[in-house]
Structure 1
Amino acid sequence: MRQIRSKAYRKLMAMYCTSFGFRQPYQVLVDSEMCETAVSQKIDLLARMESVLVGSVKMMITQCCIHELYIQGKSHQPAVDLAKSFERRKCNHKEAIPGNECIASVMGETNQHRYAVATQSHPLRVNLRAIPGVPIVHINRSVMVLEPASDATLQSKQRAEKDALGPSTSEKAMLNAVTPQVEPVVKRKKAPKGPNPLSVKKKVPKGTVPVTTRVEKADVRSKRKREEADDVDGASVEAQPKPKRRRRHKAASRLAERSN
């Protein structure tokens, strides 16, 4: 068996052991068709099963499946001898029924006894995929194959993990006894907010003189000061005397003409 396939089978069986309580030696139910295929292809069923399930194996067969091999005649005697080498599993059927129905009844709805099933019957494999936690083995072109986990198996595994993370039933009972039941708080709808009262001007009653605030008074004072300063600057500019114009003397102008 290839290394990649062996690693996948080991991981799959570890999941069955962890989530569904499988343990070695694994109990494997074999049907009549698997015995016939193993004899015709000369496959060592026990050795192959141990390599596929990656552990020790206990091979089992029901009385109804052996009865099917007896009915087919002496030509299937090697398959009968192989089936007799396995451990008998009591199916409690007074009259023999088909092998597929016998194995389905032994498995039940939950696979309580942790069986793996080795079968070549396609209808039986389809029915077993609906039961959570059932490893299914079949032979495909002389290669023994362990089917991947079915949808029912994966869903059951997820539910078990979710329950394991939460409190158990006893813990829930203790919590309910200790902590009183609190009524749910009803959220009230918030009313629309009004404007900020600090930013709203107060209404002045009619017939009253509006009271000036400190800020307005300060603005009036600063305005008066600016006006007074402007008046002082204008008066100073007007009071400043104009510079006198010097007159040129007539004698000096005549001397300048002569020199030229």
Structure 2
Amino acid sequence: MKIKRQKTAYKILNFYKNTYGIDSPYKVLVDGTFCKACLSAKVNIMEQLPKYLDSDMTLMTTSCVLAECKAFGSLLFGPLKVLSQYTIRPCKHKEPVPAAQCLYSLIKQGNKKKYFVATQDPELSKKSRDIKGVPLLYLAFKNIILERPSNTSKGIENPQVSQAQSLDHQLKIVQDLKRKLLGEEIEPKEKKKKKFIKRKPTKKRKEGGNNVPKSNGGVKRKKKNKIKIASHVKAEWRKQ
């Protein structure tokens, strides 16, 4: 799994290198949320991040990030100690501002300094994806992950959907317009009628016939009863 993650990271790094000229040694902006998550997962950023990206790098933070950690007191005391060891990147804020706002101010002009952003803050992550050429790092399942380039970084403003989905969408729009403008209702599809096979009618039995129906549906002929005549009577008939 570790080899697979590193191969994926290598492909992503090549994209940023070829597209935006972001090359080693990397500059990584780290905030308190990312540092706290790594401490909780017992992940040493200084050791594991260079191995993961297979490169030298400079871990950086700002005075606003440190001020935010101090404001949270014991909750972010550990991250404050770790971040204090990193390079302090000067920012233009005379008074401390929220960490997400401070780091965003360093990349919002097209990330000209070619920074990586390491954060667990959803607001900062979302804003970073909306800027071209900002590699985003986060922690998941006790592993540091380099996020795949966003659609903005890829230059995709409106991702295309499949042709079938597009046609269905267009058809739905046309149908909605018909209902609103013309008051037409879409005719429901006719249900297919089931085909019934008619059986051939059986021949009617002649009235007064000698045929009697059998119990199994066949026809049985009625036997004629024979009258027995005595032999002496037959002899008298012959004499006459």
TM-score, normalised via structure 2 length = 0.62
CA contact (8 A) 1:46 1:57 kept: no
Can you list the C-alpha shifts for 1:196-221, whole angstroms capped at 9, x where unaligned?
A: xxxxxxxxxxxxxxxxxxxxxxxxxx
CA distance in structure 1 between the partners assigned to 2:128 and 2:8 by the alignment: 21
CA contact (8 A) 1:52 1:146 kept: no
Report what 1:100 is aligned to: 100
CA contact (8 A) 2:6 2:53 kept: no
Can you list the C-alpha shifts for 1:126-163, whole angstroms capped at 9, x where unaligned?
A: 1110111111000012121111011111118xxxxxxx
The correspondence of residues 153-192 of structure 1 with structure 2, limited to 5 A, is 153-155=153-155
Instruction: State the secondary structure of the residue aligned to 2:105.
Output: helix
% identical equivalent positions: 28
CA contact (8 A) 1:9 1:54 kept: no
CA distance in structure 2 between the partners assigned to 1:105 and 1:31 by the alignment: 14
TM-score, normalised via structure 1 length = 0.57
CA distance in structure 1 between the partners assigned to 2:39 and 2:85 by the alignment: 13
The correspondence of residues 1-260 of structure 1 with structure 2, limited to 5 A, is 2-155=2-155
CA distance in structure 2 between the partners assigned to 1:51 and 1:111 by the alignment: 24
Once the two structures are TM-superposed, the CA of residue 75 in structure 1 deviates from its matched residue by 4.8
Instruction: State the secondary structure of the residue aligned to 2:91.
Output: coil
Runs of 4+ in 1 over 2 A off after TM superposition: 51-54, 74-78
Q: Which stretches in structure 1 are left out of the alignment for 5+ residues? A: 157-260
Structure richer in helix, relative to its length? 1
Once the two structures are TM-superposed, the CA of residue 78 in structure 1 deviates from its matched residue by 2.2
CA contact (8 A) 2:32 2:76 kept: no
Instruction: State the secondary structure of the residue aligned to 1:46.
Output: helix
CA distance in structure 2 between the partners assigned to 1:118 and 1:75 by the alignment: 19
Structure of larger gyration radius:
1
Instruction: State the secondary structure of the residue aligned to 1:132.
Output: coil
Instruction: State the secondary structure of the residue aligned to 1:36.
Output: helix
